Amino acid sequence: MAEHGLKRDVGRIGLLFAAIGSMIGSGWLFGAFNASAIAGPAAIFSWLIGGVMILFIGLSYAELGPMFPISGGVIRYPHIVWGSFGSYSLGFITWISTAAVPAIEVEGALQYATQYAPFTSPEQVGGETVYTLTPLGIGTAAVLLAVFVAINAVGVKLFAQVNNVLVWWKLGVIALVVAVFIATALLGLGGTGGFANYGTKQFAPGGFDGVMIAISTAGIVFSFLGFRQSIELAGESKDPKRNVPWAVITATLVVAGIYALLQVAFTLAVPADALARADGWRSLSLENDFGPLAAIAGAAGLTWLAILLYADAIISPADTGLVYTTIASRVSYAFGRNGNAPRWLATTSARGVPWWSLVLVYGIGLVLLLPFPSWQQLVGFITSGTVISFAAGPLAVTALRRTEPDRERPFRLPGGHAIPLLGFFSANLIVYFTGWATNSKLFITILIGYAVLVVLELVGRRSGTKPPLELASGWWVLPWLGALALVAWLLDPETHPTLFLLGFPIIAVISIAVYALAVSRRLPRERMDEYIADAEREAQDEPEAVSV
């Protein structure tokens, strides 16, 4: 089969909008409600702190992306620095987490669409109401996932054009919701239950713990994870050295501001009777709360806005699902390029599309609908898995500075170790905040990934197609993941709430120790230079772009 390269058809705005488009998906439809139920009005701090933590992580990729503008960079960078075992360990987590996002976006859309048909049904899970897919919902989800694949199969240029239009729509709807909710509350036409009492118990019913736990479990970090799209599409962007850092930083700051305003607007718009129970915010409930923003609009008599929100509940998650279908296929593509998975995953069509990877992503999405049939059940899993994979970025930045100090860096982080170390610490904290109930499933998935690696090694060794495992450079991943799992289990915020603060210094010690270990275990310079040369050849071999 003839080889075709990926196309450089994504321009500066296309790169930025790919990030913003995936950040503003189902998270904005549920995040403010879920965060309020955990942290009350103090959830505004959850959004701001979460945004800063993600920015610390993203800044490292703003340095890496322009150095190596290749598709699937989030798992290609670990391969350059630590070789096959390190990149597989992090890449498998990245792949599963990314492939899960189209599924959760479809679940979010269908939860709102339950207003019109029985796509979901309410169930009690862990003391809270979650909306799980019905057989009709699962069938509809399968069709929507197939539509994402079909659009991507045409090529990245069509994807970027469709996404640009949808992002403008999403930004317009959010701006309208924020303005109308605030105006309605200030004019005394509805809401104001949220700030009826400024006492500490009412403002922060979950205390400091609630503010921090909401960052992982309410969909806050999940809503910021889309900054990665600027990195993953670097190999398909024109002038990535200029566009990538700008897109990463701009997208994160813009979306953080949008979500903070949305949280304030939501708090102002909550009607007093929704907080009438004795424990107030902790038992927040709204009529038809499968669509909380639309429920508030309806309670305030804003029927037209509720209708608009129900329409956007299809468009916003669908756009994010479309973006992540693109990205997940690029992660599979990078897996194949690394040699950590069958090489046919890196096969591209005449349109520059890794079509076998698209088919695989569709299959993974269908499978993940079964153990996680609701938005609430899947969001924590994706959050923990994705930030674990992101944690390699800050480590790779420092390792490359040690080995390649004179290499051109179009964007260089200031402050030496400070920002990379804060980024790694932030990623580990986010995993800790998620809780053992979700993390246990994640670490089981990681163990399954290593079982798959054993099979790939046996098959690859027999056929002579498997590259060296390079365990000597990548083994540091094992004690790191083991330490995270142990802390998540022993200091689980749900079962041991009094020990929650103890996790901060313990995670700090783990972060510093693993940071030093990972940097010291980097590949020898000669081997790293081989991988860098391969990445540079890939970047240079891509054809010129048409800017979108």
pLDDT at 493: 87
Q: Please, are residues 58 and 248 in contact by the beta-carbon 8 Å criterion?
A: yes
pLDDT at 444: 92
Residue 523 per-residue DSSP state: P
pLDDT at 544: 38
Neighbours of 57 (CB within 10 A): 29
pLDDT at 477: 96
Taking alpha carbons only, the member of 327, 346, 324 closest to residue 335 is 346
d(C-alpha 42, C-alpha 36), whole Å: 8
The SS3 call for residue 33 is: helix
Q: Please, are residues 360 and 333 in contact by the beta-carbon 8 Å criterion?
A: no
Backbone angles phi, psi at 123, to 5 degrees: -140, 155
What does R_g of the chain's alpha carbons equal in angstroms? 22
pLDDT at 464: 63
pLDDT at 198: 43
pLDDT at 545: 35
DSSP code string of 292-333 = HHHHHHHHTT-HHHHHHHHHHHHHHHHHHHHHHHHHHHHHHH
pLDDT at 473: 94
pLDDT at 354: 79
Tell the CATH superfamily of the 12-534 domain.
Amino acid/polyamine transporter I (1.20.1740.10)
pLDDT in tens, the chain (548 residues): 344 444 555 567 777 877 887 788 778 888 888 898 888 889 999 999 999 999 999 889 888 888 887 766 777 889 899 998 998 898 888 888 888 888 888 888 888 888 888 898 887 765 667 778 889 999 999 999 998 888 777 765 666 677 778 888 888 999 999 999 988 888 776 555 555 554 445 788 888 999 999 998 888 988 888 787 777 666 666 677 778 788 888 888 888 899 999 999 988 888 877 776 656 777 777 766 567 888 888 888 888 998 898 888 888 887 778 778 877 887 787 777 777 777 778 787 776 777 888 888 888 888 877 766 666 667 788 888 889 988 999 999 999 999 999 888 888 888 889 999 999 999 999 999 988 988 998 899 899 999 988 888 887 766 666 678 899 999 999 999 999 999 999 999 888 888 999 999 999 999 999 999 999 999 999 999 998 888 777 666 544 333 33
d(C-alpha 445, C-alpha 312), whole Å: 33
Residue type, 6: L
Write down the residue that tokens 């057989």 correspond to: 135
pLDDT at 71: 65
DSSP code string of 33-48 = HHHHHHHGGGHHHHHH
What does the angle CA 125 – CA 201 – CA 123 come to, to the nearest 5 degrees?
Answer: 10
d(C-alpha 257, C-alpha 224), whole Å: 11
